Amino acid sequence: MSELRKDPVTGRWVIISTERRKRPSDFHLESVEIAADPGCPFCEGHEQMTPPELLAHRHNGSGPNVPGWSLRVVPNQFPVLRVEGTLDRQGEGLFDKMNGIGAHEVIVESPRHEDTLATMGDAAVEELFWAARERVRDLKRDHRFRYIIIFKNHGTAAGSSLDHSHSQLIALPIVPREVRDKVDGAKAHYLAKERCVFCDILRQETGEGRRLIADNADMVGVSPYAPRFPFETWILPRRHQSHFEDAARHEYASLARLLADILRRMNKALCNPPYNLLIHSAPVSESTADYYHWHVEIIPKLTKVAGFEWATGFYVNPTSPEEAATVLRDARGYH
Amino acid sequence: MSELRKDPVTGRWVIISTERRKRPSDFHLESVEIAADPGCPFCEGHEQMTPPELLAHRHNGSGPNVPGWSLRVVPNQFPVLRVEGTLDRQGEGLFDKMNGIGAHEVIVESPRHEDTLATMGDAAVEELFWAARERVRDLKRDHRFRYIIIFKNHGTAAGSSLDHSHSQLIALPIVPREVRDKVDGAKAHYLAKERCVFCDILRQETGEGRRLIADNADMVGVSPYAPRFPFETWILPRRHQSHFEDAARHEYASLARLLADILRRMNKALCNPPYNLLIHSAPVSESTADYYHWHVEIIPKLTKVAGFEWATGFYVNPTSPEEAATVLRDARGYH
């Protein structure tokens, strides 16, 4: 029989469907293939094809916007929001709007076109987190911004328009609703119990082990109890901390190691799936220190049956998290 | 410059992106093609391939589960929830679950494989609403159910697994989050202003006309002010009423006429797009009479860039509702 399960943070119910149960081999798996692209704007030597860089990691003393980098951050060429201007809030009868002030940046994760987070090596993955941290710390000094989203779309089916490995960062003048719900849910739990809900989740998951995928000294990878999507995976830092950008050096190293490991497990078990990766952090200016706990979410894109769930917020998941965790535990990746 | 707009019901902000502006011809349009299927379980003559019917419209006095019907309602062969059993709520440490009690039914809208809502004729579309009304009225007598969703997936890209035109109905022991947010938002508006927010929207949209697509005596079709998706369309009844199943005879007739008209406009302007259709009604047992207002939502599936929006609740829409309304106003369909 199917089960309804409640997400302990947001309170959202999902259906874990046994009637429609799916194992990895039941999905119409779409593998990500990186096509060669001589005109790729993110490849080394093509620095002039992007707007001037905001940040680069260079190890050979080379100047800006020339080869010699291991990671580059550039403004998005087609930004959804722009930095220039004054934030202007207006009414339109019943309705509310504001102009599109914000920032939209791209983190190019490697000079090599064919690299992926699963294969580029743990040190290169760690560089991504250091760059994200530096950009967030810079952008949060701008008081127009209320939230900074760091995310990655891997593969066309996950919304990526360029194959070359990159992440994105968007600074917003509002806190998006999904974040608001997480923060409010975590706050309600804290007010009721004086404990962080994510710390409670960590305690139960590491104790029980049924949904545990892999872990190390600082980080724990789990299939969440009430996942919306098959093989949805969370990585939580063991130490309580509300903001991603305040993590310690060894935590970024541990996160890079565990993330690359989990992505290799997914590649093995799910045939190099497209995925979305998100860093969930507290809103930049809120003192949510006691009740929010930053974490990473990885959602492989395995199902196309999305329109309805998308529109209603009512999710049917054909793979239980216990089964997903078993599959990923058993799928030790190779490098 | 891009604009952030707030949905007046849920409070969700979306970005209307001018940098990434898309007109109908800019989408990689995927047309729905109905493939012949000699083994289709929904075709007339194949009644034995479905579970026994719960309801059928028959005009020639034929018995159940044989040819002679114009519409049939049957249980879903692979239900996400089942009617049998007692609703059992349990804790699992920190977590909450319940068993999958509910109902999942299929409304087969025509005996003919090639029919669509846009082409089958207004009277046949009206039959769909009468059948949905009858099934909702029957199911709401079961006090385990808190919400009944009526929806349609048209085309594979919208999540449909069978081409033969059909809608679905799911009765749930919980109120899904997206519905909860709409109801709570409408209630907050009512408490602040003593007016229904949807009546306010109707007043502003019919007065201004910029986002108006088409209307008739009982129904108004608009592009909403802060749509998450390009060409998202709402049909609102002019008369305030919280529950779809309490509408009047002439309202179902008007809804059928306007819905078929709008679907033909979409077919013309957007090349027979896949779409999701949802009926938003108040929770079955809540006396939300004053502040909720039932309505229909149509979301053509034009963009694949979904993973990120899906996961963050942060939507970027490349087509403004004013532009979408202009395109659909100009696209008078043919029958």
What confidence tens digit (pLDDT) does each residue in B127-182 have? 999 999 999 999 999 999 999 999 999 998 888 889 999 999 999 999 998 899 99
CB contact under 8 A, B17 and A299: no
Q: Is residue A244 part of a domain?
A: yes
**Contact (CB, 8 A) for A197 and A186:** yes
Tokens 């259906």 sit on residue: A15
> Residue B222, Cα to own-chain centre: how many angstroms?
15
Q: Rounded to an integer, what distance in angstroms lies between the CA atom of residue A166 and that of residue A163? A: 8
Question: Is B306 within 8 Å of A310 when comparing Cβ atoms?
Answer: yes
Instruction: Classify residue A183: in a domain, yes or no.
Output: yes
DSSP tag of A101 = B
pLDDT number for residue A94: 94
Query: How many residues in chain A?
Result: 335
Nearest CB to B306; choose among A159, A177, A179: A159
Q: Identify which of A281, A255, A299, A278 has the alpha carbon closest to the alpha carbon of residue A186.
A: A281
Q: Which residues of B touch A28 (CB under 8 A)?
A: none
* A280 assigned to active site: no
Does the beta-carbon distance from B312 to A149 stay under 8 Å?
yes
Tokens at residue A23, please? Answer: 């194992």
Q: Which chain B positions have a beta carbon within 8 Å of A100's beta carbon?
A: 1-4, 15, 17-18
- Residues of chain B contacting A201 with CB distance shorter than 8 Å: 94
pLDDT digits (tens, 9 = 90+) for B201-214: 999 999 999 999 99
**What distance in Å separates residue B89's CA from the closest CA in chain A?**
9
CATH of the domain at A283: 3.30.428.10
Task: Supply the pLDDT for residue A305.
Answer: 57
Phi, psi for residue B25 in degrees, rounded to 5: -75, -10
In the block, residue with structure tokens 């947010």: B181
Let me know the angle formed at the C-alpha of B188 by B184 and B194, rounded to the nearest 5 degrees.
Answer: 130
Report yes or no: A35 at the B interface, CB cutoff 8 Å. no
Q: Does some domain include residue A305?
A: yes
pTM of the model: 0.93
pLDDT band at B29 (very low <50, low <70, confident <90, very high): confident
| Per-residue pLDDT, A335 | 46
CA distance A136 to A316: 35
A 10 A CB-CB count for B72 gives 25
CB contact B39 to A (< 8 Å): no
Using DSSP, how many helices (H) and how many strands (E) does chain B show?
A: 6, 15
Q: Which of residues 255-284 of A touch B (CB under 8 A)?
A: 274-276, 278
pLDDT attached to residue A96: 95
**What order do you get walking across the sheet with B212-215 strand by strand?**
B55-58, B69-75, B103-108, B166-172, B147-154, B275-280, B295-300, B233-237, B219-222, B212-215
**B206 and A CB contact within 8 Å:** no
DSSP string, A234-264: EEEESS--S-GGG--HHHHHHHHHHHHHHHH
Residue A180 lies in a domain: yes
Domain assignment present for A209: yes
Instruction: Tell me if A97 and B3 make a contact (CB, 8 A cut-off).
Output: yes
Inside any domain, residue B123: yes
Q: Which of B11, B78, B181 sits opposite A20 (nearest CB)?
A: B78
Q: Which residue segment(s) compose the domain that B274 sits in?
A: 3-83+91-330
Q: Which of residues 142-171 of A touch B (CB under 8 A)?
A: 149, 151, 153, 156-159, 170
Q: What distance in Å separates the CA atoms of residue B136 and residue B149, rounded to the nearest whole number? A: 9
Q: What is the pLDDT of residues B268-302, one digit of tens each?
A: 999 999 999 999 999 998 877 899 999 999 999 98
Give residue B78's pLDDT. Answer: 86
Q: What is the DSSP letter of A125?
A: H
Q: Token match 């409070």: residue?
A: B11
Looking at residue B307, what is its pLDDT?
A: 63
Nearest residue of B to residue A308, measured between CA atoms: B276
Sign of CA dihedral A87, A93, A95, A100: negative
The C-alpha atoms of residue A222 and residue A204 are separated, in whole angstroms, by 11
CB-based contact (8 Å) between A301 and chain B? yes
pLDDT given for residue B306 in this prediction: 57
| Alpha-carbon distances, residue B62 vs B72, B130, B131, B134 (angstroms) | 13, 20, 18, 20
- B335 in a domain, yes or no? no
**Beta bridge partners of residue A153, listed in sequence order:** A276
pLDDT at A323: 95
Q: Residue A170 contacts by C-beta under 8 Å, 6 or more apart in sequence? A: A80, A81, A102, A103, A104, A105, A148, A149, A151, B314
The confidence band for B262, taking pLDDT boundaries of 50, 70 and 90, is: very high
Give the per-residue pLDDT at B319: 94
Nearest by CB to A94, from B8, B17, B297: name it: B8
Per-residue pLDDT at B267 exceeds 80:
yes
Residues of chain A with pLDDT under 70: 304-308, 311, 333-335
Number of domains in chain B: 1
Residue B255 has pLDDT above 50, yes or no: yes
Residue B160 within any structural domain of the chain: yes
